[in-house]
Structure 1
Amino acid sequence: MSGSVTPGRTVDSERQGERGVGVTKGLDGAVIAVAGAGGPTGRAVLARLAGAGAHVYGADADAGRLHESVEAAPGTHGAVVDLLDPAATRRWADDVEREHGRVDGLVHLVGGWRGGKRFADNSLEDWTLLHDLLVRTVQHTSLAFHEALARSPRGRFVLVSAAAAGQPTQGNAGYAAAKAAAETWTLALADAFAESDAAATILVVKALVNDAMRQARPNAKFAGFTDVADLAVEIAGLWSTPAIDLNGKRLCLNIP
């Protein structure tokens, strides 16, 4: 774990006699882990969560990208973790929980894309890569964090998915299938959260866009794309929404 740690105060939900229907208290003092924290999306999410008062712990396999994200979001912490290694992932989860005695959220941002225009462009080599990035990392992080999240009065597991999972195109078969598998795994986690105050939620985008992409393609429209800053706002808002309204939900952003 990097950076200094300031002990956070425990914030409990105000119960209303039913699990998942507590009055939420947002992100103030929440302990949030972010998997795949490197890159523009990770930078935006880390900054937004930290700015809302959360203790944020990012992980990425790329030390350089992770460093840039942490530097851009003062007060956040970073750990270089191979999320394809289940033991390493569990050690990261244990480290995060040890710092504050709890974990209130895991945001899964690990991504990747391979594909083409025709069905024949799909390859099993691409599928192997996509399965690791988009499915295995979800499995490893959810298994490592789910018990801590279930104990939290405001636990949230957030998967960022793609519209392709429900609307695959011929050249996108591997990517769409991997995203669909990750969504199914997340819905199973939601079922595990049914008797707790935690929630597993899927945020669906057509694609993401950031300032560097716009600068590289100034004439591009990026129609229906979700800006990474807007995605970060949506993610942060999940801690201000009762779990009963989020658990097992597939929420579509900017998709007609």
Structure 2
Amino acid sequence: MTDTTDTTARGQGNGRDRLSGSVIAVAGAAGPAGQATLLRLAEEGATVVAADADAERLAQAVDAARFAHGGATVTGDTVDLLSLDATREWAGRTEKEFGHIDGLVHLVGGWRGSASFAETDLADWEALHNLLLRTVQHTSLAFEKPLERSANGRYLLISAAGASKPTAGNAAYAASKAAAEAWTLALGDAFRKAGGEAGPSAAAVILVVKALVHDQLRADRPNAKFAGFTDVKNLAEAIAATWTEPADELNGTRLWLTPKP
């Protein structure tokens, strides 16, 4: 699939063991979205290999997924995703240990903004460039070939609606997200070319949210409406569901989990 036409995420129900035998790496796994994703993937029967820079929070997330789903294989490792060598070493070690890699879920996030365009601090660009783009570059380069070798590989980027409609105070954030989307779509074109006439065996997909919400955030802000926000549990379900769709139909697409701006 060569175009990047927007498409709507398709729900796949609440079946179990859809991902039995799959090996899925999750980058940025210690936050609320990562925790929900580890739980969902483990519930679906996947072997989950989690990474984050925060060792303590990562250990808690991994333990929670293991505890919730007895017998699930969930591992955690602190990986410096700002180092291409370290990221490649993580991918190589994972493929060697488990024999294959069927997915990389990119959940590394961060936000910085300003009150107006004129007040934009270019230091925010430097920080967000590293968090939101450099980590995408490194994980995509490290995992491209393992995902191509999979029978049903997925590279999943979680992006934001603001990349398509940036606001004055979010210039650095939106630009970083837009660049990460472009990079991911280029990976999708690489998958397409590698598949040749048979079509790609792996898909690069962008899941678009306005913002994310979770139970603790609702408890902390009981009067907030969170209009258009995506619950991290729903995001995790959408992530798991991508493996039930043909790679050639998903590759190079955006799945909107919030109304388009």
Q: Please, what TM-score do these two structures have when normalized by structure 1?
A: 0.89
For 1:61-72, list aligned pairs within 5 A: 61-72=53-64
2:176 maps to 178
* RMSD over aligned Cα atoms: 1.0
Matched, 1:50 2:42: yes
Partner of 1:160: 158
Structure 2: unaligned runs, 5 residues or longer: 1-16, 67-72
Partner of 2:229: 225
Which deviates further from its counterpart, 147-156 or 117-126? 117-126
Distance 1:94 1:151 in 2: 13
CA distance in 2, matches of 1:152, 1:221: 41
| Displacement of 1:99 | 1.3
Show the counterpart of 2:13: none
The 5-angstrom pairing of residues 99-110 of structure 1 reads 99-110=97-108
Aligned mates of 1:147, 1:136 — CA distance in 2: 19
* One-letter identity of the residue aligned with 1:50: A
Distance 2:220 2:236 in 1: 22
Corresponding residue number in structure 1 for 2:244: 240
* Deviation digits for residues 78-131 of structure 1 (CA, Å, limit 9, x no counterpart): 000110011111111011101121100000000000002310231110000000
More displaced 10-residue stretch of structure 1: 114-123 or 137-146:
114-123
Native 8 Å contact 2:120 2:169 kept in 1: yes
What are the equivalent positions in structure 2 for 1:144-159 lying under 5 Å apart? 144-159=142-157
CA distance in structure 2 between the partners assigned to 1:251 and 1:229 by the alignment: 16
Q: Is the 8 A contact 1:112 1:134 kept in 2?
A: yes
Q: CA contact under 8 A between 2:114 and 2:121: conserved in structure 1?
A: no
For residues 42 and 121 of structure 1, the distance between their equivalents in structure 2, rounded to whole angstroms, comes to 32
Question: TM-score, normalising length from structure 2?
Answer: 0.87
Q: Could you list the runs of 4 or more consecutive aligned residues of structure 1 that deviate by over 6 angstroms after TM superposition? A: none
Q: Deviations along 1:219-252, whole A, 9 cap, x unmatched? A: 1000000000000000000011111111000111
Pick from 164, 167, 170: which aligns with 1:169?
167
Work out the number of aligned pairs and report it.
Answer: 232
- Does the CA contact (< 8 Å) of 1:158 and 1:200 recur in 2? yes
Percent identity over paired residues? 62
Q: 1:253 aligns with which of 237, 257, 261?
A: 257
Give, in angstroms, the shift of residue 30 of structure 1. 0.2
Equivalent residue for 1:97, pick from 76, 85, 95: 95
Find the counterpart in structure 1 of residue 186 from structure 2: 188
